[in-house]
Amino acid sequence: MTTDFTATKALFDLPAGVIYLDGNSLGPLPRAVAPRVEAAIRTEWGAMLITAWNKAGWMDLPERLGNRIGRLIGAEPGTVTLGDTLSIKVFQALDAALQLRPERRVILSDSGNFPTDLYMAQGLTGLLGRGYQLRTVAPEDVEAAIDETVAVTMLTEVDYRTGRKHDMAALTAKAHAAGALAFWDLAHSAGAVPVDLAGAGADFAAGCTYKYLNSGPGGPAFIYVAPRHADQVQPVLSGWLGHDAPFAFEPGYRPAPGTARMRVGTPPVLQLAALDAALDVWDGVSMAEIRACSIALTSRFIAAVEANCPDLTLVTPRDPQARGSQVSFAHAQGYAIMQALIARGVIGDFRAPDILRFGVTPLYIGETEIDRAADILTEVMATRAWDRPEFHARAKVT
C-alpha cells in the first residue's frame, strides 16, 4: 500500500471526541485550508487588490483545479472546469446533450436520483416545451428503459440515500448503443470511488466539491465535457467568462474553445482557494486503495450493526461492488436516532423518510472509529436513548 491513512488523517482538523461519518454531505476542514484562504485574503486580495486576477492567477483557477479533480475522476486533461453550483452544471449539461440529439425529446433518470437533478430537468423541459419530457423509472429498471426515444440519460452514479452504485460503463454503453448520450452526477463518487469518465465513454459529468473533496460549505461545482463534444455545444447559460475573449467586451457571444465555454460567472476565488488547499490532501493518494479501504470499513460497520441492532434495516447493497462509500439503515424513528448519536459524538445524517446515513471516508476514518460508532449505535438502540423530546424536534437541516 502506498497511501498512508494515518498521515492523511493528520491533515484534517477534526474536533476531539467526534467520529465524523458525514463527509458524504460536508467534508471536514483540512488543516491547510485556513492558511491558504487567509493568504488569498491578505496577500492576494489585500496586497494585490485587483491586480491579483493576473498576479495571483485567479482567472486560471477553474481550469487548473479542474485538472486536479480530473485526475480523481478519470477525465482527460482540459475537460473539467469549475464554478457555479451543481444545479447550474446539471442544467448546462442536460441542455448541451439535448442540443446534440435534436430529434429526441426524453431525459431518462431514476426515481432515486437527487431531487435537485430532477427539478432542474423538470425546469429545463418546461422551458423548452415542444414535447420535451423527463422520464423516471426505478433504479434497477434504467437499463431496460433506454431506447431510441431517449436523448440523454441523467444518472447519479451513487444514490444519495441508499449508496446504491450504478454501473457507469455498462449504462453508458447501453445509452450509446441506443443512440443516446450519458450524463453522470458524481456528487457521491468524486473522491469516494474510482471513476473513469474517459474509459467509460461518458459524454458529460458534473459534481460538487464540498463532500468527499472537502472544499467547504457551498464549494463550487465542476463540469466535464467529453472532448468529442466540447467544441460543438452552445451553452444555454452564455456567461461572459465562457466567452472566447471576455475582456474584448463584444456585444455578441462567441464560446471559448473546449470545456471553458461552460464557465458562466466570475470564479468564486476564496472558495477555489479553499478547494486548492483541500486537494493537496489527495497528492499521493491512490483511489484504488481508498476504494479497498472503504469496502473493508463499510463491510465492518454493516456486520457490527446487523449483529447488534436487529431493529435497523440495511438499505445499502450488501454486495460491496454495488455500493459507494456510505452505509444506510432504515428505521421509523431514524431522525431521533441520529440526533441521539450526534449528541454522543457520532455525526451522520438523516434523509427522509426514514434513512440513517453514514459516510465512510478512509482519509480520516479507520477501524477504531467504525467500531466505536457501531458500539454507540448499539447502546442508543438497546436503551432507546433516542426516545427523548429534544431528539424528535426537527431542525431546518437534517
What are the residue numbers of the active site? 114, 185, 210-211, 357
Side chain identity at residue 61, one-letter code: L
β-partners of residue 155 are 184
**Helix (H), strand (E) at residue 105:** none
- CA dist 29 and 39 (Å) reads 17
Instruction: Report whether 296 contacts 365 (CB < 8 A).
Output: no
Joined together, the cell numbers standing for residue 281 give: 490532501
- CA dist 362 and 8 (Å) reads 9
Angle at 357 between CA 277 and CA 344, to 5 degrees: 85
- Residue position matching grid coordinates 441542455: 95
Name the 3-class secondary structure at 51.
helix
Q: Which of 185, 178, 219, 221 is nearest to 202 (CA)?
A: 185
Q: Which of 184, 254, 270, 193 is nearest to 223 (CA)?
A: 184
Neighbours of 320 (CB within 10 A): 17
Side chain identity at residue 124, one-letter code: L
Q: Which of 102, 23, 87, 15 is nearest to 237 (CA)?
A: 87
Instruction: Report whether 289 contacts 296 (CB < 8 A).
Output: no
Neighbours of 132 (CB within 10 A): 17
β-partners of residue 206 are 185, 223
Dihedrals φ, ψ of 186, to 5°?
A: -105, 25
Neighbours of 389 (CB within 10 A): 7
**Helix (H), strand (E) at residue 384:** none
Q: Which of 170, 185, 118, 119 is nearest to 324 (CA)?
A: 185
- Number of H helices and E strands in the chain, helices first, is 16, 13
